[in-house]
Structure 1
Amino acid sequence: MDLEVYSLAQRPELVPLLDDFAGAWPEFMAWDPIASLYYAVADEVYPEFVLVAIDPASPGRALARAYSVPLAWPDDQPLPPGGWDRVVQRATINRLAGLKTTVVSALEICVQPDQRGRGLSARMLAALRDNTARLGYRTLVAPVRPSGKHARPDEAMTTYVARTRSDGLPEDPWLRTHVRAGGRIEAVAPRSMTIPGTLAEWRSWTGLPFDTTGPVHVPGALAPVHCDTTHDHAVYVEPNVWIRHGL
Protein backbone atom coordinates (compact mmCIF):
# COMPACT_ATOMS: atom_id res chain seq x y z
CA MET A 1 0.00 0.00 0.00
CA ASP A 2 1.18 3.49 -0.83
CA LEU A 3 1.05 5.52 2.36
CA GLU A 4 1.67 9.23 2.58
CA VAL A 5 2.14 10.83 5.99
CA TYR A 6 1.81 14.57 6.51
CA SER A 7 1.79 16.86 9.50
CA LEU A 8 -1.12 19.24 9.88
CA ALA A 9 1.37 22.06 9.38
CA GLN A 10 2.03 20.67 5.91
CA ARG A 11 -1.58 19.80 5.08
CA PRO A 12 -4.01 21.74 7.31
CA GLU A 13 -6.92 20.74 5.08
CA LEU A 14 -6.62 17.20 6.50
CA VAL A 15 -7.91 18.29 9.93
CA PRO A 16 -11.50 17.06 9.32
CA LEU A 17 -10.21 13.53 8.65
CA LEU A 18 -8.94 13.20 12.22
CA ASP A 19 -12.46 12.77 13.61
CA ASP A 20 -13.39 9.84 11.37
CA PHE A 21 -12.09 6.96 13.51
CA ALA A 22 -15.31 5.37 14.74
CA GLY A 23 -14.76 2.37 17.00
CA ALA A 24 -11.02 2.89 17.24
CA TRP A 25 -11.05 3.21 21.05
CA PRO A 26 -13.40 2.01 23.79
CA GLU A 27 -16.03 4.69 24.44
CA PHE A 28 -14.98 5.31 28.05
CA MET A 29 -11.52 6.45 26.93
CA ALA A 30 -13.04 9.54 25.33
CA TRP A 31 -13.95 10.82 28.79
CA ASP A 32 -10.55 11.41 30.36
CA PRO A 33 -11.10 14.94 31.77
CA ILE A 34 -7.53 15.96 30.91
CA ALA A 35 -7.79 15.08 27.22
CA SER A 36 -9.55 18.25 26.08
CA LEU A 37 -6.59 20.36 27.20
CA TYR A 38 -4.76 18.86 24.25
CA TYR A 39 -7.26 17.68 21.65
CA ALA A 40 -9.31 20.88 21.71
CA VAL A 41 -6.29 22.89 20.53
CA ALA A 42 -3.99 20.33 18.86
CA ASP A 43 -4.68 21.31 15.25
CA GLU A 44 -4.19 25.02 15.97
CA VAL A 45 -1.42 24.98 18.59
CA TYR A 46 0.56 21.83 17.75
CA PRO A 47 0.06 21.26 13.97
CA GLU A 48 3.71 20.23 13.46
CA PHE A 49 3.23 17.43 15.99
CA VAL A 50 0.07 15.87 14.54
CA LEU A 51 0.48 13.37 11.69
CA VAL A 52 -2.13 12.02 9.28
CA ALA A 53 -1.62 9.03 6.98
CA ILE A 54 -3.59 8.71 3.75
CA ASP A 55 -3.64 6.46 0.72
CA PRO A 56 -3.15 8.80 -2.27
CA ALA A 57 -5.51 6.60 -4.28
CA SER A 58 -8.27 7.34 -1.73
CA PRO A 59 -7.32 10.62 -0.02
CA GLY A 60 -10.70 11.31 1.54
CA ARG A 61 -10.11 9.09 4.54
CA ALA A 62 -7.27 8.98 7.06
CA LEU A 63 -5.91 5.47 7.53
CA ALA A 64 -3.97 6.36 10.67
CA ARG A 65 -3.12 9.32 12.87
CA ALA A 66 -0.43 10.16 15.39
CA TYR A 67 -0.55 12.84 18.06
CA SER A 68 2.43 14.16 19.98
CA VAL A 69 3.30 17.21 22.05
CA PRO A 70 6.47 19.09 23.03
CA LEU A 71 7.25 19.78 26.66
CA ALA A 72 10.05 20.82 28.96
CA TRP A 73 11.33 17.78 30.85
CA PRO A 74 14.92 17.39 32.10
CA ASP A 75 16.77 14.31 30.84
CA ASP A 76 17.94 13.50 34.37
CA GLN A 77 14.43 13.62 35.86
CA PRO A 78 12.41 10.36 35.98
CA LEU A 79 9.38 10.26 33.74
CA PRO A 80 6.23 10.91 35.78
CA PRO A 81 4.00 8.22 37.30
CA GLY A 82 1.10 10.34 36.08
CA GLY A 83 1.98 9.33 32.53
CA TRP A 84 -0.41 10.49 29.80
CA ASP A 85 -2.38 12.89 31.97
CA ARG A 86 0.76 14.46 33.40
CA VAL A 87 2.26 15.00 29.96
CA VAL A 88 -0.81 16.88 28.77
CA GLN A 89 -0.86 18.99 31.96
CA ARG A 90 2.86 19.73 31.79
CA ALA A 91 2.79 20.60 28.07
CA THR A 92 -0.14 22.96 28.62
CA ILE A 93 1.58 24.70 31.53
CA ASN A 94 4.84 24.94 29.56
CA ARG A 95 3.05 26.50 26.59
CA LEU A 96 1.19 29.06 28.69
CA ALA A 97 4.41 29.95 30.53
CA GLY A 98 6.35 30.25 27.29
CA LEU A 99 9.04 27.77 28.34
CA LYS A 100 11.48 26.24 25.87
CA THR A 101 10.56 22.62 25.20
CA THR A 102 13.19 19.89 25.36
CA VAL A 103 11.49 16.58 24.50
CA VAL A 104 8.47 15.34 22.59
CA SER A 105 5.96 12.88 24.01
CA ALA A 106 3.77 10.70 21.85
CA LEU A 107 0.15 10.74 22.97
CA GLU A 108 -1.61 8.50 20.49
CA ILE A 109 -1.01 6.36 17.44
CA CYS A 110 -4.31 5.12 16.07
CA VAL A 111 -5.06 2.97 13.03
CA GLN A 112 -8.51 2.55 11.52
CA PRO A 113 -10.04 -0.70 12.82
CA ASP A 114 -10.38 -2.14 9.30
CA GLN A 115 -6.73 -1.37 8.52
CA ARG A 116 -5.15 -3.13 11.48
CA GLY A 117 -2.77 -6.03 11.06
CA ARG A 118 -1.05 -4.42 8.06
CA GLY A 119 1.92 -2.88 9.86
CA LEU A 120 0.56 0.67 9.84
CA SER A 121 1.22 1.24 13.54
CA ALA A 122 4.93 0.54 13.06
CA ARG A 123 5.01 2.87 10.06
CA MET A 124 3.33 5.63 12.04
CA LEU A 125 5.78 5.17 14.90
CA ALA A 126 8.66 5.50 12.42
CA ALA A 127 7.02 8.62 10.99
CA LEU A 128 6.63 10.06 14.49
CA ARG A 129 10.29 9.40 15.27
CA ASP A 130 11.34 11.03 11.98
CA ASN A 131 9.08 14.02 12.54
CA THR A 132 10.40 14.55 16.06
CA ALA A 133 13.98 14.50 14.81
CA ARG A 134 13.12 16.80 11.91
CA LEU A 135 11.76 19.34 14.38
CA GLY A 136 15.12 19.35 16.17
CA TYR A 137 14.44 17.16 19.20
CA ARG A 138 16.71 14.34 20.29
CA THR A 139 14.24 12.46 22.48
CA LEU A 140 10.79 11.01 21.94
CA VAL A 141 9.07 9.49 24.97
CA ALA A 142 5.76 7.66 25.04
CA PRO A 143 3.34 6.53 27.78
CA VAL A 144 2.49 3.38 25.88
CA ARG A 145 -0.80 1.51 26.19
CA PRO A 146 0.16 -2.17 25.69
CA SER A 147 -2.15 -3.66 23.08
CA GLY A 148 -2.56 -7.05 24.79
CA LYS A 149 -2.94 -5.94 28.40
CA HIS A 150 -6.75 -5.76 28.22
CA ALA A 151 -6.76 -9.56 28.09
CA ARG A 152 -5.02 -9.66 31.50
CA PRO A 153 -6.75 -6.86 33.45
CA ASP A 154 -5.97 -8.31 36.87
CA GLU A 155 -2.26 -8.72 36.26
CA ALA A 156 0.06 -5.99 37.57
CA MET A 157 1.59 -3.95 34.78
CA THR A 158 5.06 -4.53 36.23
CA THR A 159 4.56 -8.28 35.81
CA TYR A 160 3.00 -7.91 32.37
CA VAL A 161 5.89 -5.79 31.09
CA ALA A 162 8.36 -8.45 32.22
CA ARG A 163 6.80 -11.04 29.91
CA THR A 164 9.22 -11.73 27.05
CA ARG A 165 9.49 -14.12 24.15
CA SER A 166 12.31 -16.57 23.53
CA ASP A 167 14.14 -13.91 21.50
CA GLY A 168 14.11 -11.54 24.49
CA LEU A 169 11.62 -9.10 22.98
CA PRO A 170 8.45 -8.12 24.86
CA GLU A 171 5.53 -10.51 24.56
CA ASP A 172 3.15 -7.61 24.06
CA PRO A 173 2.91 -6.68 20.34
CA TRP A 174 2.85 -2.89 20.79
CA LEU A 175 5.69 -2.85 23.30
CA ARG A 176 7.63 -5.11 20.95
CA THR A 177 7.08 -2.70 18.06
CA HIS A 178 8.52 0.17 20.11
CA VAL A 179 11.56 -1.84 21.17
CA ARG A 180 12.22 -2.99 17.61
CA ALA A 181 12.08 0.65 16.51
CA GLY A 182 14.81 1.55 18.98
CA GLY A 183 12.80 2.38 22.09
CA ARG A 184 13.81 1.44 25.61
CA ILE A 185 11.31 0.47 28.29
CA GLU A 186 12.01 2.81 31.18
CA ALA A 187 9.27 2.54 33.79
CA VAL A 188 5.63 1.86 34.50
CA ALA A 189 3.30 4.86 34.80
CA PRO A 190 0.84 3.40 37.35
CA ARG A 191 -1.74 6.21 37.07
CA SER A 192 -1.31 7.30 33.48
CA MET A 193 -4.99 8.04 32.83
CA THR A 194 -7.72 8.59 35.41
CA ILE A 195 -11.32 8.52 34.20
CA PRO A 196 -14.02 9.17 36.83
CA GLY A 197 -17.74 9.09 36.24
CA THR A 198 -21.12 8.58 37.84
CA LEU A 199 -22.57 5.10 37.65
CA ALA A 200 -25.06 6.33 35.04
CA GLU A 201 -22.19 7.63 32.93
CA TRP A 202 -20.29 4.36 33.16
CA ARG A 203 -23.44 2.46 32.22
CA SER A 204 -23.85 4.65 29.14
CA TRP A 205 -20.19 4.26 28.16
CA THR A 206 -20.04 0.49 28.58
CA GLY A 207 -23.53 -1.01 28.62
CA LEU A 208 -22.66 -2.73 31.92
CA PRO A 209 -24.90 -2.54 35.02
CA PHE A 210 -22.41 -1.08 37.51
CA ASP A 211 -24.72 -2.15 40.33
CA THR A 212 -22.25 -3.79 42.72
CA THR A 213 -19.48 -2.17 44.72
CA GLY A 214 -16.06 -3.54 43.80
CA PRO A 215 -13.92 -4.09 40.73
CA VAL A 216 -15.66 -4.22 37.35
CA HIS A 217 -14.04 -5.75 34.29
CA VAL A 218 -14.76 -3.53 31.32
CA PRO A 219 -13.92 -4.67 27.77
CA GLY A 220 -10.88 -2.78 26.52
CA ALA A 221 -9.75 -1.65 29.98
CA LEU A 222 -6.24 -2.55 31.09
CA ALA A 223 -7.25 -2.80 34.76
CA PRO A 224 -10.54 -3.17 36.65
CA VAL A 225 -12.77 -0.14 37.11
CA HIS A 226 -13.46 0.63 40.78
CA CYS A 227 -17.22 0.90 41.39
CA ASP A 228 -18.76 2.46 44.52
CA THR A 229 -22.54 2.19 44.58
CA THR A 230 -22.84 3.95 47.94
CA HIS A 231 -21.30 7.12 46.59
CA ASP A 232 -22.56 6.76 42.99
CA HIS A 233 -19.28 6.85 41.15
CA ALA A 234 -16.73 4.63 39.45
CA VAL A 235 -13.10 5.40 38.66
CA TYR A 236 -10.75 3.86 36.14
CA VAL A 237 -7.01 4.27 36.69
CA GLU A 238 -5.04 3.04 33.71
CA PRO A 239 -1.38 2.05 33.94
CA ASN A 240 0.87 2.66 30.94
CA VAL A 241 4.51 1.93 30.15
CA TRP A 242 7.09 4.64 29.62
CA ILE A 243 9.31 4.06 26.59
CA ARG A 244 12.15 6.38 25.60
CA HIS A 245 13.38 6.73 22.02
CA GLY A 246 16.74 8.36 21.54
CA LEU A 247 16.87 9.96 18.08
Structure 2
Amino acid sequence: MTTLEAPRVVSLAERPDLETAMLEMEATWPEFIRPDPVVITWAFERHAEHQLVVLDGDDVVARAATVPFCWDGDPETLPDTGWDEALRLSMLDTHDGRPLNTLCALEVAVVPGQRSRHLSGRTLAAVADNAREHGFRDVVVPVRPSRKHLVPEMPMDSYVARTRDDGLPEDPWLRVHVREGGQIIGVCPASMTITGSLAQWRDWTGLPFDTSGPVTVPGALNPVEVSVEHDRAVYVEPNVWVRHRLDSFLTKGAPS
Protein backbone atom coordinates (compact mmCIF):
# COMPACT_ATOMS: atom_id res chain seq x y z
CA MET A 1 0.00 0.00 0.00
CA THR A 2 1.30 3.46 -0.88
CA THR A 3 1.81 6.01 1.89
CA LEU A 4 1.38 9.29 -0.02
CA GLU A 5 3.95 10.91 2.27
CA ALA A 6 5.32 13.05 -0.54
CA PRO A 7 3.11 13.07 -3.65
CA ARG A 8 4.69 14.84 -6.59
CA VAL A 9 3.06 16.60 -9.53
CA VAL A 10 4.65 16.51 -12.96
CA SER A 11 3.37 17.49 -16.38
CA LEU A 12 3.56 15.41 -19.52
CA ALA A 13 5.86 18.08 -20.91
CA GLU A 14 8.29 17.15 -18.16
CA ARG A 15 7.60 13.42 -18.24
CA PRO A 16 6.22 12.38 -21.65
CA ASP A 17 6.95 8.78 -20.70
CA LEU A 18 4.01 8.91 -18.28
CA GLU A 19 1.36 9.43 -20.98
CA THR A 20 0.34 5.77 -21.16
CA ALA A 21 0.25 5.40 -17.38
CA MET A 22 -1.87 8.57 -17.14
CA LEU A 23 -4.34 7.34 -19.75
CA GLU A 24 -4.55 3.85 -18.26
CA MET A 25 -4.91 5.01 -14.65
CA GLU A 26 -7.88 3.42 -12.92
CA ALA A 27 -10.80 5.85 -12.79
CA THR A 28 -14.57 5.76 -12.41
CA TRP A 29 -15.76 6.87 -15.84
CA PRO A 30 -18.62 4.66 -17.08
CA GLU A 31 -17.77 2.44 -20.03
CA PHE A 32 -20.08 4.37 -22.36
CA ILE A 33 -18.28 7.70 -21.90
CA ARG A 34 -15.69 7.68 -24.64
CA PRO A 35 -14.15 11.05 -25.53
CA ASP A 36 -12.80 11.29 -29.07
CA PRO A 37 -9.29 9.77 -28.92
CA VAL A 38 -8.10 11.94 -31.82
CA VAL A 39 -9.04 15.10 -29.94
CA ILE A 40 -7.53 13.85 -26.70
CA THR A 41 -4.31 13.03 -28.54
CA TRP A 42 -4.25 16.60 -29.90
CA ALA A 43 -4.66 18.06 -26.40
CA PHE A 44 -1.93 15.87 -24.97
CA GLU A 45 0.49 16.72 -27.77
CA ARG A 46 -0.28 20.43 -28.17
CA HIS A 47 -0.72 21.29 -24.50
CA ALA A 48 1.39 18.70 -22.72
CA GLU A 49 2.42 21.29 -20.13
CA HIS A 50 -1.19 21.33 -18.84
CA GLN A 51 -1.61 17.56 -18.47
CA LEU A 52 -0.73 16.77 -14.86
CA VAL A 53 0.15 13.50 -13.19
CA VAL A 54 0.32 13.02 -9.42
CA LEU A 55 2.88 10.43 -8.40
CA ASP A 56 3.39 8.53 -5.18
CA GLY A 57 6.79 7.05 -5.78
CA ASP A 58 6.48 5.55 -9.25
CA ASP A 59 2.70 5.05 -9.00
CA VAL A 60 0.21 7.35 -10.74
CA VAL A 61 -2.44 8.14 -8.11
CA ALA A 62 -4.24 11.09 -9.72
CA ARG A 63 -4.39 13.00 -12.97
CA ALA A 64 -5.69 16.27 -14.36
CA ALA A 65 -6.35 16.86 -18.05
CA THR A 66 -6.72 20.55 -18.89
CA VAL A 67 -6.82 22.73 -22.00
CA PRO A 68 -6.59 26.50 -22.47
CA PHE A 69 -9.04 28.65 -24.35
CA CYS A 70 -10.10 32.29 -24.74
CA TRP A 71 -12.93 33.44 -22.44
CA ASP A 72 -14.24 36.93 -21.75
CA GLY A 73 -14.92 36.16 -18.08
CA ASP A 74 -18.71 36.43 -18.37
CA PRO A 75 -20.42 33.31 -16.91
CA GLU A 76 -23.22 33.73 -19.46
CA THR A 77 -20.82 33.04 -22.31
CA LEU A 78 -19.57 29.69 -21.02
CA PRO A 79 -21.01 27.11 -23.43
CA ASP A 80 -24.07 25.02 -22.60
CA THR A 81 -22.24 22.19 -24.38
CA GLY A 82 -19.55 22.35 -21.70
CA TRP A 83 -17.00 19.53 -22.04
CA ASP A 84 -17.38 19.04 -25.78
CA GLU A 85 -17.35 22.74 -26.61
CA ALA A 86 -14.47 23.63 -24.30
CA LEU A 87 -12.27 21.16 -26.12
CA ARG A 88 -13.42 22.46 -29.50
CA LEU A 89 -12.83 26.07 -28.45
CA SER A 90 -9.35 25.19 -27.27
CA MET A 91 -8.53 23.75 -30.67
CA LEU A 92 -9.96 26.75 -32.53
CA ASP A 93 -8.43 29.38 -30.26
CA THR A 94 -5.04 27.68 -30.34
CA HIS A 95 -5.12 27.42 -34.13
CA ASP A 96 -6.34 31.01 -34.65
CA GLY A 97 -3.88 32.54 -32.21
CA ARG A 98 -6.42 34.04 -29.82
CA PRO A 99 -5.21 34.92 -26.32
CA LEU A 100 -5.46 31.77 -24.22
CA ASN A 101 -6.41 33.30 -20.86
CA THR A 102 -8.45 30.54 -19.18
CA LEU A 103 -7.62 26.95 -18.31
CA CYS A 104 -10.44 24.40 -18.48
CA ALA A 105 -10.08 21.24 -16.41
CA LEU A 106 -11.70 18.52 -18.48
CA GLU A 107 -10.97 15.90 -15.85
CA VAL A 108 -9.56 15.68 -12.35
CA ALA A 109 -9.49 12.04 -11.29
CA VAL A 110 -8.09 10.08 -8.37
CA VAL A 111 -7.43 6.35 -8.25
CA PRO A 112 -10.45 4.99 -6.32
CA GLY A 113 -8.40 3.43 -3.53
CA GLN A 114 -6.69 6.77 -2.83
CA ARG A 115 -9.77 8.98 -2.36
CA SER A 116 -9.69 9.03 1.42
CA ARG A 117 -6.35 10.84 1.28
CA HIS A 118 -7.77 14.16 0.04
CA LEU A 119 -5.96 13.99 -3.29
CA SER A 120 -8.90 15.49 -5.18
CA GLY A 121 -8.55 18.89 -3.55
CA ARG A 122 -4.79 18.75 -3.70
CA THR A 123 -4.89 17.94 -7.40
CA LEU A 124 -7.27 20.85 -7.99
CA ALA A 125 -4.78 23.10 -6.22
CA ALA A 126 -2.03 21.76 -8.49
CA VAL A 127 -4.17 22.68 -11.52
CA ALA A 128 -4.44 26.23 -10.15
CA ASP A 129 -0.70 26.41 -9.59
CA ASN A 130 -0.09 25.26 -13.15
CA ALA A 131 -2.53 27.87 -14.45
CA ARG A 132 -0.85 30.67 -12.48
CA GLU A 133 2.58 29.62 -13.71
CA HIS A 134 1.37 30.02 -17.28
CA GLY A 135 -0.38 33.36 -16.75
CA PHE A 136 -4.04 32.30 -16.77
CA ARG A 137 -6.62 34.30 -14.82
CA ASP A 138 -9.25 31.59 -14.26
CA VAL A 139 -9.73 27.86 -14.05
CA VAL A 140 -13.17 26.66 -15.13
CA VAL A 141 -14.46 23.12 -14.80
CA PRO A 142 -17.47 21.33 -16.31
CA VAL A 143 -17.93 19.27 -13.16
CA ARG A 144 -19.50 15.82 -13.26
CA PRO A 145 -21.17 15.57 -9.81
CA SER A 146 -20.18 12.33 -8.15
CA ARG A 147 -23.63 11.26 -6.94
CA LYS A 148 -25.99 12.64 -9.57
CA HIS A 149 -26.20 9.18 -11.13
CA LEU A 150 -28.16 8.06 -8.06
CA VAL A 151 -31.02 10.38 -9.04
CA PRO A 152 -30.97 10.38 -12.87
CA GLU A 153 -34.53 11.70 -13.17
CA MET A 154 -33.77 14.83 -11.11
CA PRO A 155 -32.99 17.99 -13.13
CA MET A 156 -29.44 19.14 -12.62
CA ASP A 157 -30.56 22.56 -11.37
CA SER A 158 -32.49 20.89 -8.58
CA TYR A 159 -29.60 18.59 -7.76
CA VAL A 160 -27.11 21.46 -7.53
CA ALA A 161 -29.45 23.31 -5.17
CA ARG A 162 -29.24 20.52 -2.58
CA THR A 163 -27.05 21.64 0.30
CA ARG A 164 -26.06 20.40 3.74
CA ASP A 165 -26.79 22.19 7.01
CA ASP A 166 -23.46 23.99 6.74
CA GLY A 167 -24.45 25.45 3.37
CA LEU A 168 -22.00 23.39 1.34
CA PRO A 169 -23.20 21.32 -1.61
CA GLU A 170 -24.59 17.91 -0.77
CA ASP A 171 -22.66 16.39 -3.65
CA PRO A 172 -19.15 15.39 -2.52
CA TRP A 173 -17.29 16.47 -5.68
CA LEU A 174 -19.06 19.82 -5.89
CA ARG A 175 -18.29 20.24 -2.20
CA VAL A 176 -14.56 19.73 -2.86
CA HIS A 177 -14.64 22.48 -5.48
CA VAL A 178 -16.46 24.93 -3.22
CA ARG A 179 -14.11 24.21 -0.32
CA GLU A 180 -11.19 24.92 -2.64
CA GLY A 181 -12.62 28.34 -3.49
CA GLY A 182 -14.76 27.42 -6.50
CA GLN A 183 -17.97 29.23 -7.41
CA ILE A 184 -20.85 27.32 -9.00
CA ILE A 185 -21.93 29.57 -11.86
CA GLY A 186 -24.35 27.48 -13.88
CA VAL A 187 -25.35 24.23 -15.50
CA CYS A 188 -24.13 23.12 -18.90
CA PRO A 189 -27.11 20.91 -19.87
CA ALA A 190 -25.50 19.23 -22.87
CA SER A 191 -21.88 18.99 -21.78
CA MET A 192 -21.11 15.69 -23.50
CA THR A 193 -23.12 13.77 -26.08
CA ILE A 194 -22.55 10.05 -26.61
CA THR A 195 -24.30 8.37 -29.54
CA GLY A 196 -24.07 4.72 -30.43
CA SER A 197 -25.87 1.81 -32.05
CA LEU A 198 -27.96 -0.42 -29.83
CA ALA A 199 -25.31 -3.12 -30.20
CA GLN A 200 -22.70 -0.70 -28.86
CA TRP A 201 -24.87 0.27 -25.91
CA ARG A 202 -25.54 -3.38 -25.11
CA ASP A 203 -21.81 -4.00 -25.12
CA TRP A 204 -21.09 -0.96 -22.92
CA THR A 205 -23.81 -1.62 -20.35
CA GLY A 206 -25.03 -5.22 -20.58
CA LEU A 207 -28.61 -3.94 -20.86
CA PRO A 208 -31.03 -5.21 -23.55
CA PHE A 209 -31.96 -1.86 -25.15
CA ASP A 210 -34.97 -3.48 -26.77
CA THR A 211 -37.58 -0.78 -26.05
CA SER A 212 -37.78 2.77 -27.34
CA GLY A 213 -37.84 5.61 -24.85
CA PRO A 214 -35.77 6.72 -21.86
CA VAL A 215 -33.66 4.04 -20.20
CA THR A 216 -31.94 4.38 -16.83
CA VAL A 217 -28.33 3.26 -17.18
CA PRO A 218 -26.03 2.70 -14.19
CA GLY A 219 -23.55 5.57 -13.95
CA ALA A 220 -25.52 7.89 -16.24
CA LEU A 221 -26.56 11.28 -14.88
CA ASN A 222 -29.64 11.39 -17.14
CA PRO A 223 -31.72 8.67 -18.78
CA VAL A 224 -30.45 7.46 -22.16
CA GLU A 225 -32.89 8.03 -25.03
CA VAL A 226 -33.38 4.86 -27.08
CA SER A 227 -34.83 4.48 -30.57
CA VAL A 228 -35.26 0.84 -31.54
CA GLU A 229 -36.70 1.94 -34.88
CA HIS A 230 -33.49 3.80 -35.75
CA ASP A 231 -31.11 1.37 -34.01
CA ARG A 232 -29.48 4.03 -31.87
CA ALA A 233 -29.35 5.46 -28.39
CA VAL A 234 -28.22 8.93 -27.34
CA TYR A 235 -26.93 10.04 -23.97
CA VAL A 236 -26.68 13.77 -23.27
CA GLU A 237 -24.81 14.44 -20.05
CA PRO A 238 -25.29 17.61 -18.02
CA ASN A 239 -22.41 19.04 -16.03
CA VAL A 240 -21.99 22.01 -13.70
CA TRP A 241 -19.78 24.97 -14.52
CA VAL A 242 -17.52 25.86 -11.60
CA ARG A 243 -15.18 28.84 -11.71
CA HIS A 244 -11.99 29.16 -9.70
CA ARG A 245 -10.61 32.69 -9.73
CA LEU A 246 -6.90 32.28 -9.38
CA ASP A 247 -6.52 35.18 -6.95
CA SER A 248 -8.78 33.32 -4.49
CA PHE A 249 -7.96 29.68 -5.21
CA LEU A 250 -6.55 27.94 -2.15
CA THR A 251 -3.05 26.53 -2.56
CA LYS A 252 -2.62 25.06 0.91
CA GLY A 253 -1.88 21.37 0.72
CA ALA A 254 -1.04 21.28 -2.97
CA PRO A 255 1.33 18.48 -3.93
CA SER A 256 4.84 19.62 -4.71
TM range (shorter): over 0.9
Pairing 1:44-193 to 2, within 5 Å after superposition = 44-56=45-57, 59=58, 61-76=59-74, 78-193=77-192
Aligned match of 1:228: 227
Cα shift at 1:116? 2.5
Q: Decide whether aligned partners of structure 1 residues 233 and 143 sit closer, same or farther in structure 2, where only a CA change above 3 A counts.
A: same
Tell me if structure 1 keeps the 8 A contact 2:82–2:142: yes
Pairing 1:6-17 to 2, within 5 Å after superposition = 6-17=10-21
Structure 1 residue identity aligned to 2:47: Y
What is the total number of aligned residue pairs between the two structures?
Answer: 241
TM-score (norm 1): 0.94
Match of 2:31 among 27, 33, 36: 27
Question: Could you list the per-position Cα deviations for residues 45-102 of structure 1 after superposition, in whole angstroms to 9, with x for gaps in the alignment?
Answer: 111110001112xx0x311110000001111352111110110111111122222212
Question: Does residue 209 of structure 2 align to residue 210 of structure 1?
Answer: yes
* Counterpart Cα distance in 2 of 1:39 and 1:132: 19
Question: Could you list the per-position Cα deviations for residues 178-213 of structure 1 after superposition, in whole angstroms to 9, with x for gaps in the alignment?
Answer: 011011000000000000111011011111100011
- Where in structure 1 are there 5+ consecutive unaligned residues? none
Structure 2 residue identity aligned to 1:39: I
Aligned match of 1:199: 198
Pairing 1:36-51 to 2, within 5 Å after superposition = 36-51=37-52
CA RMSD of aligned residues (A): 1.3
Aligned match of 2:239: 240
Question: Could you list the per-position Cα deviations for residues 158-186 of structure 1 after superposition, in whole angstroms to 9, with x for gaps in the alignment?
Answer: 00000001111100000010011011000
* Counterpart Cα distance in 2 of 1:133 and 1:38: 25
Tell me if structure 2 keeps the 8 A contact 1:51–1:66: yes
Q: Percent identity?
A: 51
* Counterpart Cα distance in 2 of 1:218 and 1:155: 14
Tell me if structure 2 keeps the 8 A contact 1:37–1:88: no
Structure 2 residue identity aligned to 1:88: L
Question: Could you list the per-position Cα deviations for residues 3-26 of structure 1 after superposition, in whole angstroms to 9, with x for gaps in the alignment?
Answer: 111111222222221122245311
Tell me if structure 2 keeps the 8 A contact 1:20–1:62: no
Moved more, 126-135 or 158-167: 126-135
* Counterpart Cα distance in 2 of 1:91 and 1:172: 29
Q: Decide whether aligned partners of structure 1 residues 23 and 108 sit closer, same or farther in structure 2, where only a CA change above 3 A counts.
A: closer
Structure 2 residue identity aligned to 1:47: A
Structure 1 residue identity aligned to 2:9: V
Cα shift at 1:150? 0.6
